[in-house]
C-alpha cells in the first residue's frame, strides 16, 4: 500500500507505529486523503493476526490542528450543486453521508478488537483530539506547548466525529457541556485530572509508554461498550440530570441569546445521545452535525474565522516580490500603556526591544508593565520565573534615542498629537539607518499627514494596535499615499512574528476599525438621547451579538478620549463631521459631571471599589425624554446596532479604504467584536442579501436620519443582486497580485 500521509513500522512485539507526517505541510490536518489512508491502515492492521496493537503519533512538532475546514466548505458546495441537480433531500443525504465518514472511521478504530494508543505532543485539537478520544489509551508529552481540546464551537460547529458522545461518557454531563461549549485548549495537567488522557511523560518516552501499555495487555474495549456501564453523572432523567439540564439551557440562552445554532446543537446532541447506545448516539450526532454544517452561521464563521483568518495570518496581502525581512530588534518610542504593551508582545515573541520615553523613570514604568503581565502568567502556572527574567532581559528601557540606532524597525506610540509625533519622528530619523522602516501606532491621525514630517515617506507606515495589546489579535496596517512595498512587507513580517493577524487598509481618518466602532458608539449614545432605557441599550447590543454594550465600551475607551476625538474631527473636518447631540452628551458627562469612564471610576457606569459596575442612575436625568421599554421595538434596536457598523464597512469598501473583503470581516470580528456568528459585517449583508439589506437601511434612514443613507455601491449591488464576496472575490485579488 502507498503511504503518503502516514508511515507505518512494526516492531518485534507486533506493535504497529503509525507516524502521521504529511508532506509539504507544517502541521498535520485531516483531509479526505488522510482519512482514507488511515482507514486503509485500520483495515490492514485489523486483518493481520500478527499485529498486537497500534500506536499513533506525529512526525512533526505538533500532533494536529484537526480537520481541514476547507474540506467541510467543499461538502457545502457539493450539497448546493446536488440540490440544484437532484433536490434538497438528495443534498441533505450527501452532507450526512460525507460529513460522518470520520465519525464512522473512529468508531471502527474503537471497536476493531485490537488496542490503539496515541502519543501526543504539541497541539492536538478538534478532529485530531477526537481521534485520540477514540483510541483506547492516551499518552501526552509534558512539553508545556502541548494542548488538547475541541474548539469547534468557535467556528460555529461542534465536534462531529464522536467527540460530544465520548466526552459526555468520560465525565459528568455538566463538565462535558462546559468543555464543549467553551472550546478551550487544555494543558496536560488539567486534561489528566479530567481523565481525558491517561499518562503524561517526557516527549522522548511517549511512544514507548504507549507500547508498554499494549504489551501489558491494554484493553481494546471502551467502558461504554462493556456491560453494566454507568454514566459518570448519572442518567439524564435523574436527580443529577434535573440539576444539570435546566441550568445548562439557561446559561446557553444568557451567553448566546440564541445566536449560535452550533452551541444549541451541543445541548441537544448530548442530551439525546446520553439516552442511547453508542452507535445510535453517534448517528444522532452525525445528523445534527450535517444540519449545522449547512447553517449560514457555520458557513460564515468557517470562512471568516478559519479560512480567511489563516490566509491573512500567513501574509495573503504581503507584497510577493519583497524578500522576507529579518527583524531581530524593535524600537518602541513611548512607554505609556500602548507602547508598554507593544514592547511586551515584541519581547514575548523573542525580539530585542528598546523602549524609549522622556526620562528613565517613565521608561522603567513602561518596562514594569511587562513584569506585571509575566508575573500574572506565573501566578496562573503558564510561565516560570526564568521566563519572566528572560523576557525582561530583552527589553532595554531608556530615555536615550541613540539606542535606537541598530533597530530593524521603530514604532512610535506617543500622545495623539501631530506636533508631538512630528517631534518624535525627527528625533528617531536622526539616529536610525536610512533603510529602517518607521511605524506609527496612531488610532485616528491620518498616516499621510504624519508622514509629511518624515524625510522618507515611502518607509513610513501605520501599525495600529488595539487595547489591551497583549490580548487583542488584530493589527491594522495603514498605507499612506507614499508608503512603499518594503514598508508594507516589513510591517506584515513583524505582525506575523508577534502572532497577530494583520489587515491592510488605505489612509483615512479613523481607518477601518475605529470608523465602525465610532458608528456603534454613536448609535448607543443617540438611543440614550432618544429616551431608550440605558439597560435596554446595553442588553439589546449584546442580544445583537456584540461582546459589550456601547455605553460600557465608551467607558473602557474613556469618555474624555471619545470627546477629544470628536472635537478633533470637528476642528479638522468641520461641524458636519460630527453629531451635535452626541457631542452635547459627552460634554455634559466630561466637563460638567467629571465622568471620564472606568479610569476615574465613573462614566456611563459607576465603578464601586471592590464591587460590580452599575449603570449610573443619573443617566436618566440626561435624557430629554423617557420612553417605556415595552413600547420600543427590540428587533429594530438590534438592527440599528449591526446595520450602522455594516454600512460603515460598506463605505470603507466604496472609498477604497478596505480593498479585501476578508479583511473587513476578520478585522471587524477580532478587532471590535462584531457579532461573530455573522462572519463579519459584509458576510452579514451577503447572508441576508444586498436587496434586503438596502431595504432595511432605507427604512432606518427614513426613521432615524441620513447616517443610514446607503452609498452608491450598495445601490448598484442591490440592483444586480450581487454579494460582496461575489463582486470582490479574494481569489481574484491574489491572482492579480501574483
Q: CATH number of the domain at 67, please.
A: 3.90.226.10
- Establish if 223 belongs to a structural domain: yes
| Cα–Cα distance measured from residue 4 to residue 34, given in angstroms and rounded to the nearest whole number | 8
- Establish if 241 belongs to a structural domain: yes
- Establish if 654 belongs to a structural domain: no
16 plus 118 within the same structural domain = yes
Is the previous residue joined to 468 through a cis bond, with omega within 30 degrees of 0? yes
Q: Among residues of the chain, what percentage have pLDDT more than 90?
A: 88
- Establish if 408 belongs to a structural domain: yes
DSSP bridge partners of 201? 141
DSSP for residue 705 = -
H/E element, 517: helix 513-529
539 plus 442 within the same structural domain = no
502 plus 519 within the same structural domain = no
pLDDT tens digits for 325-350? 999 999 999 999 999 999 999 999 99
8 A C-beta contact, residue 136 and residue 52: no
472 plus 620 within the same structural domain = no
Residue 535 to residues 202, 559, 580: CA-CA distances in angstroms? Answer: 53, 18, 23
290 plus 349 within the same structural domain = no
498 plus 527 within the same structural domain = no
Question: Considering 509, 534, 556, which residue would you say is the last residue of a domain?
Answer: 509
pLDDT tens digits for 260-272? 999 999 999 999 9
Q: How many CA atoms lie within 13 A of 396 on its CB side?
A: 16
8 A C-beta contact, residue 203 and residue 143: yes
H/E element, 669: helix 661-672
pLDDT of residue 594: 97
Q: How many domains are there within the chain?
A: 3
pLDDT of residue 545: 97
8 A C-beta contact, residue 634 and residue 626: no
124 plus 110 within the same structural domain = yes
pLDDT of residue 17: 98
170 plus 26 within the same structural domain = yes
CATH classification at residue 374: 3.40.50.720
Three-state DSSP state, 502: strand
Question: Considering 585, 603, 631, which residue would you say is the last residue of a domain?
Answer: 631
Of 464, 477, 324, 327, the residue nearest 406 (C-alpha): 327
111 plus 161 within the same structural domain = yes
- Establish if 735 belongs to a structural domain: no
- Establish if 657 belongs to a structural domain: no
8 A C-beta contact, residue 220 and residue 114: yes
119 plus 221 within the same structural domain = yes
CATH classification at residue 555: 1.10.1040.50
pLDDT of residue 24: 85
Question: Considering 609, 631, 653, which residue would you say is the last residue of a domain?
Answer: 631
pLDDT of residue 1: 52
pLDDT of residue 732: 55
34 plus 169 within the same structural domain = yes
145 plus 183 within the same structural domain = yes
Residue ranges making up the domain that contains 103: 6-294
8 A C-beta contact, residue 348 and residue 377: no
pLDDT of residue 73: 80
Query: Which residue stretches of 350-484 are H helix?
Result: 360-379, 385-393, 418-429, 447-451
| Cα–Cα distance measured from residue 206 to residue 670, given in angstroms and rounded to the nearest whole number | 37
| Cα–Cα distance measured from residue 226 to residue 278, given in angstroms and rounded to the nearest whole number | 11
Residue 197 to residues 17, 135, 148: CA-CA distances in angstroms? Answer: 19, 10, 9
DSSP for residue 542 = H
| Cα–Cα distance measured from residue 650 to residue 142, given in angstroms and rounded to the nearest whole number | 48
8 A C-beta contact, residue 3 and residue 18: no
283: which residues sit within 8 A by CB, 6+ positions away?
Answer: none
- Establish if 235 belongs to a structural domain: yes
Of 312, 304, 310, 353, the residue nearest 333 (C-alpha): 353
- Counting beta carbons within 10 angstroms of the beta carbon of residue 727, is it exposed (0 to 12), middle (13 to 18) or buried (19 or more)? middle
8 A C-beta contact, residue 520 and residue 668: no
Residue 499: left if φ>0, alpha if ψ -120 to 50, beta else—which one?
left
- Establish if 649 belongs to a structural domain: no
Which regions in the chain score pLDDT beneath 70? 1-2, 732-738
8 A C-beta contact, residue 507 and residue 442: no
8 A C-beta contact, residue 233 and residue 172: yes
Amino acid at each position: 500500500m502507498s503511504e503518503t500521509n502516514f508511515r507505518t513500522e512494526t516492531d518485534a512485539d507486533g506493535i504497529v507505529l503509525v507516524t502521521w507526517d504529511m508532506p509539504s505541510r507544517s502541521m498535520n490536518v485531516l483531509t479526505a486523503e488522510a482519512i482514507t489512508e488511515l482507514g486503509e491502515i485500520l483495515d490492514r492492521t485489523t486483518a493481520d493476526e500478527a499485529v498486537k496493537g497500534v500506536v499513533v503519533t506525529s512526525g512533526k512538532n505538533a500532533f494536529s490542528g484537526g480537520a481541514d475546514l476547507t474540506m467541510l466548505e467543499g461538502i457545502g458546495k457539493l450539497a448546493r450543486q446536488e440540490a440544484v441537480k437532484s433536490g434538497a433531500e438528495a443534498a441533505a443525504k450527501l452532507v450526512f453521508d460525507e460529513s460522518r465518514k470520520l465519525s464512522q472511521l473512529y468508531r471502527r478504530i474503537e471497536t476493531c478488537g485490537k488496542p490503539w494508543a496515541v502519543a501526543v505532543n504539541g497541539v492536538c485539537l478538534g478532529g485530531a483530539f477526537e481521534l485520540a478520544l477514540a483510541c483506547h489509551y492516551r499518552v501526552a508529552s509534558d512539553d508545556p506547548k502541548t494542548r488538547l481540546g475541541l474548539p469547534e464551537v468557535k467556528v460555529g460547529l461542534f465536534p462531529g466525529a464522536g467527540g460530544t458522545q465520548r466526552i459526555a461518557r468520560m465525565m459528568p454531563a455538566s463538565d462535558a457541556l462546559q468543555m464543549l461549549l467553551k472550546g478551550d485548549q487544555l494543558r496536560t495537567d488539567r486534561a489528566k485530572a479530567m481523565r481525558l488522557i491517561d499518562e503524561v511523560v517526557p516527549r522522548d518516552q511517549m511512544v514507548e509508554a504507549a507500547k508498554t501499555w499494549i504489551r501489558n495487555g491494554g484493553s481494546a474495549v471502551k467502558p461504554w461498550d462493556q456491560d453494566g456501564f454507568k454514566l459518570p453523572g448519572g442518567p439524564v432523567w435523574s436527580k443529577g440530570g434535573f440539576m444539570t439540564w435546566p441550568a445548562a439551557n439557561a446559561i446557553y440562552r444568557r451567553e448566546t441569546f440564541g445566536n449560535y445554532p452550533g452551541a444549541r446543537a451541543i445541548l441537544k446532541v448530548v442530551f439525546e445521545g446520553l439516552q442511547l447506545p453508542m452507535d445510535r448516539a453517534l448517528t444522532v450526532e452525525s445528523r445534527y452535525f450535517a444540519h449545522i454544517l449547512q447553517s449560514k452561521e457555520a458557513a460564515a464563521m468557517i470562512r471568516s474565522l478559519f479560512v480567511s483568518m489563516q490566509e491573512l495570518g500567513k501574509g495573503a496581502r504581503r507584497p510577493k516580490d519583497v524578500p522576507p525581512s529579518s527583524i531581530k530588534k524593535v524600537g518602541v518610542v513611548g512607554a505609556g500603556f500602548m507602547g508598554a504593551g507593544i514592547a511586551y508582545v515584541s519581547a514575548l515573541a523573542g525580539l530585542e526591544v528598546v523602549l524609549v520615553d522622556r526620562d528613565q523613570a517613565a521608561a522603567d514604568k513602561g518596562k514594569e508593565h511587562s513584569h506585571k503581565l509575566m508575573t500574572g502568567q506565573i501566578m496562573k502556572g503558564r510561565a516560570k520565573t526564568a521566563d519572566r527574567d528572560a523576557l525582561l532581559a530583552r527589553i532595554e528601557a531608556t530615555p536615550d534615542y541613540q539606542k535606537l540606532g541598530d533597530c530593524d524597525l521603530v514604532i512610535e506610540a506617543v500622545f495623539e498629537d501631530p506636533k508631538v509625533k512630528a517631534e518624535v519622528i525627527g528625533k528617531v530619523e536622526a539616529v536610525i539607518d536610512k533603510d529602517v522602516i518607521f511605524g506609527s501606532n496612531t488610532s485616528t491621525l491620518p498616516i499621510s499627514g504624519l508622514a509629511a514630517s518624515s524625510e522618507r515617506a515611502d518607509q513610513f507606515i501605520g501599525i495600529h494596535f488595539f487595547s489591551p495589546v497583549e490580548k487583542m489579535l488584530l493589527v491594522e496596517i495603514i498605507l499612506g499615499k507614499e508608503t512603499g512595498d518594503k514598508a508594507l512587507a516589513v510591517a506584515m513580517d513583524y505582525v506575523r512574528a508577534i502572532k497577530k493577524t494583520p489587515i491592510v487598509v488605505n489612509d483615512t481618518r479613523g481607518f477601518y476599525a475605529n470608523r465602525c466602532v465610532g458608528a456603534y458608539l454613536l448609535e448607543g449614545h443617540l438611543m440614550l438621547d432618544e429616551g431608550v432605557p440605558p439597560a435596554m441599550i446595553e442588553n439589546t447590543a449584546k442580544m445583537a451579538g456584540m461582546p459589550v454594550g456601547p455605553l460600557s465600551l465608551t467607558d473602557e475607551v474613556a469618555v474624555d478620549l471619545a470627546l477629544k476625538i470628536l472635537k478633533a474631527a470637528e476642528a479638522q473636518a468641520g461641524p458636519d463631521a460630527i453629531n451635535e447631540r452626541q457631542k452635547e452628551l459627552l460634554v455634559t458627562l466630561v466637563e460638567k459631571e467629571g465622568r471620564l469612564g472606568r479610569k476615574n471610576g465613573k462614566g456611563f457606569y459607576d465603578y464601586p471599589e471592590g464591587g460590580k459596575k452599575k449603570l449610573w442612575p443619573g443617566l436618566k436625568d440626561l435624557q430629554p425624554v423617557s420612553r417605556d421599554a415595552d413600547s420600543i421595538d427590540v428587533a429594530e434596536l438590534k438592527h440599528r446596532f449591526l446595520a450602522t457598523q455594516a454600512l460603515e464597512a460598506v463605505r470603507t469598501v466604496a472609498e477604497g479604504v478596505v480593498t479585501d473583503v476578508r479583511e473587513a470581516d476578520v478585522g471587524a470580528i477580532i478587532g471590535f467584536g462584531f457579532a461573530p456568528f455573522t462572519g463579519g459585517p459584509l458576510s452579514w449583508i451577503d447572508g441576508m442579501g444586498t436587496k434586503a439589506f438596502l431595504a432595511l437601511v432605507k427604512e432606518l434612514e427614513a426613521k432615524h436620519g441620513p447616517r443610514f443613507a446607503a452609498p452608491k455601491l450598495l445601490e448598484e449591488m442591490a440592483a444586480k443582486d450581487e454579494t460582496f464576496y461575489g463582486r470582490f472575490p479574494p481569489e481574484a485579488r491574489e491572482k492579480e497580485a501574483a
